[in-house]
Amino acid sequence: MVLLINKADLVPIWAISKWVKYLSKSYPTIAYRSSITNPFGKGALINLFRQFDIFHRDKKNISIGFVGYPNVGKSSVINSLK
């Protein structure tokens, strides 16, 4: 499991930093802004997907799912990765 803090640009940097530090103790955590023109965290997320691919070389494909409450930006994250 990976935690993605979306809409990170709407929160002060100090608050995002504290949340990332706290949540990273349990799971890999990425602060993200899902802007199509200027996404933040996209490179880190893609690199994490690549690491999963390397770790699971025995499988042909890996599955990725996005889970969250309505209107938190799941589709925006997916669209920004295209």
CA atoms within 13 Å, Cβ hemisphere of 81: 17
Give the separation between CA 54 and CA 68, rounded to whole angstroms.
27
Give the separation between CA 38 and CA 80, rounded to whole angstroms.
9
The 10s digit of each residue's pLDDT in 31-70 is 988 776 777 788 888 888 888 777 777 777 777 888 989 9
Q: Which two tokens stand for residue 55?
A: 């770790």
Give the separation between CA 26 and CA 41, rounded to whole angstroms.
19
pTM: 0.74
Provide, rounded to the nearest whole percent, the portion of the chain with pLDDT above 90.
Answer: 29
Mean pLDDT computed over 16-22: 96
